[in-house]
Amino acid sequence: MVVILKENPNEKQLENLKNWLTSLGLEIHISNGAHQTILGLVGDTSVVDIDLIKALDIVEEVKRIQEPFKNANRKFHPQDTVIEVGGVKLGGGNFQFIAGPCSVETEEQICYVAQAVKEAGAGILRGGAFKPRTSPYSFQGLGADGIRLLLEAKEKTGLPIITEIMDLGQLKYFDDVDIIQVGARNMQNFELLKELGHLRKPVLIKRGMSATLQELLMSAEYVMAGGNDQVILCERGIRTFETYTRNTLDLSAVPVLKSMSHLPVVIDPSHATGKSTLVRSMALAAAAAGADGLMIEVHNDPQHAWCDGPQSITPEAFAALVKDVKSILPFCRYSYE
């Protein structure tokens, strides 16, 4: 961390600042220029609240050099984290397909789709039970019943399941859920993250619509600081000025996150684009970019299903996509360790 002081700083305030920084265990290197004095701070600067220093009258500017996250940082943990659920691996060279319907509707539906995506090559089943909806008047999901139906599909197919939690009060229903998903709108629900840090179960965190990559890693850090180091990062599109697609899928998040962190990175092209016609293209691109997995909405029967979003693809389209992704993976290898 570098602190640039204003010209002729008040001596007493400078002394106070230096004492405080030293008390935090930091070493201070002073560089006196003709017009400017610069303090270089060496040590664990993740404990420093950068805003507090900026607030001081004698400070012109503060620049962070080290990243403020530790557990999620590849510098301190070079090897890729590998997540393992129900015999299925994700990360560290293990590419994984997570697929299923937007919402769980009926036992018949979820079991049918689960079987279909398993045959097509999916290793993990997704399905929404608690649904975050912008409008209080929209269908809010089947809730606990939805999780029960997912567990039936898990039993029938053997696929581990992932589903979203929206509030700590729902945690009691997640005992047999294999991966807990934190949605984009809850990425900075810090109380929820803290509690999930006390579990010993994988947590997939979706990037908030306007969250920077560093903020996503800080949210992962919340979970990991509690002792749970099984975190999966998921990019699902950010909010920009472009409105043709629902969000703008930021695929550069893949190489950036993987160089900054050892955690696996999954891409959700369905929610990012909001259009089924764009899913194949963005799924192949994500795999080519070096993602560790894909999360894709697959529905059973578009002619009768009112509840499938416009971003869902058919089991047939999903099977073709899996085949092509597997074909390109050998040519898209990266090394970050």
Interface residue with a second copy among 91, 127, 128, 309 (CB under 8 A) is 309
Q: How far is CA 203 from the centre of its chain?
A: 9
Residues numbered 10 to 39 that lie near a second copy (CB under 8 A) are 13, 20, 27, 29-36, 38
Asked if 161 contacts 150 with a C-beta cutoff of 8 angstroms, the reply is: yes
Nearer to a second copy, 65 or 144 (CB): 65
Q: Is 286 in the site for a second copy (CB under 8 A)?
A: yes
Separation of alpha carbons 73 and 59, rounded Å: 29
Tell me how far apart the terminal alpha carbons of the chain are, to the nearest angstrom. Answer: 25
Q: Is 198 in the site for a second copy (CB under 8 A)?
A: no
Backbone angles phi, psi at 82, to 5 degrees: -115, 125
Q: Whole-number minimum distance, CB 69 to a second copy, in Å?
A: 8
Q: Is 106 in the site for a second copy (CB under 8 A)?
A: no
Interface residue with a second copy among 85, 117, 231, 238 (CB under 8 A) is 238
Beta strand 37-42 with 2-5: parallel, antiparallel or unpaired? antiparallel
Asked if 35 contacts 21 with a C-beta cutoff of 8 angstroms, the reply is: no
Residues numbered 80 to 99 that lie near a second copy (CB under 8 A) are none
Separation of alpha carbons 267 and 249, rounded Å: 9
Interface residue with a second copy among 104, 234, 287, 294 (CB under 8 A) is 287
Q: Whole-number minimum distance, CB 319 to a second copy, in Å?
A: 14
Interface residue with a second copy among 9, 82, 132, 319 (CB under 8 A) is 132
Nearer to a second copy, 99 or 251 (CB): 251
Separation of alpha carbons 149 and 142, rounded Å: 9
Separation of alpha carbons 237 and 150, rounded Å: 26
Q: Is 76 in the site for a second copy (CB under 8 A)?
A: no
Q: How far is CA 290 from the centre of its chain?
A: 15
Nearer to a second copy, 8 or 244 (CB): 244
How far is the CA of 152 from the CAs of 15, 30, 155, 180, in angstroms? 65, 64, 5, 17
Nearer to a second copy, 16 or 79 (CB): 16
Interface residue with a second copy among 24, 25, 78, 328 (CB under 8 A) is 328
* Region binding a second copy by CB under 8 A among candidate stretches 78-86, 105-113, 198-206, 207-215: 207-215
How far is the CA of 295 from the CAs of 34, 100, 106, 120, in angstroms? 56, 9, 21, 14
Interface residue with a second copy among 15, 55, 144, 176 (CB under 8 A) is 55
Q: Is 144 in the site for a second copy (CB under 8 A)?
A: no
